[in-house]
Amino acid sequence: MTQPAASPAAVFITGAGRNLGAYMAQHLHAAGQPVIAHYRSRTTQTAALAAAGVDLVQGDFSAAEAIAAVAAKVQEAAPRLRAIIHNASAFAPTAAADLAAARQMQEYFTVHMLAPFLLNRLLAANLAGSAEEPADIIHITDIYADNPAVEFDSYCATKAGLQNLALSAAKHLAPAIKVNVIQPGPIHFQDWHDTIQRQRVLAATPLARTGGAAAILTAVKGILANPFQTGAIISVDGGRRLTGR
DSSP string, 97-121: SHHHHHHHHHHHHIIIIIHHHHHHH
Active-site residue (options: 23, 108, 144, 155) = 155
> Is 155 in the active site?
yes
Q: Residue 54 phi/psi, 5° resolution? A: -75, 135
First to last CA, the chain: 63
DSSP 11: E
Enumerate the β-bridge partners of residue 127: 81
Q: Are 163 and 233 in contact (CB under 8 A)?
A: yes
Q: 140: closest CA among 116, 120, 169, 172? A: 116
Pseudo-torsion of CA 166, 224, 237, 92, nearest 10°?
A: -50
The DSSP element (H or E) to which 39 belongs, if any, is strand 35-39
User: Catalytic amino acids?
Assistant: 155
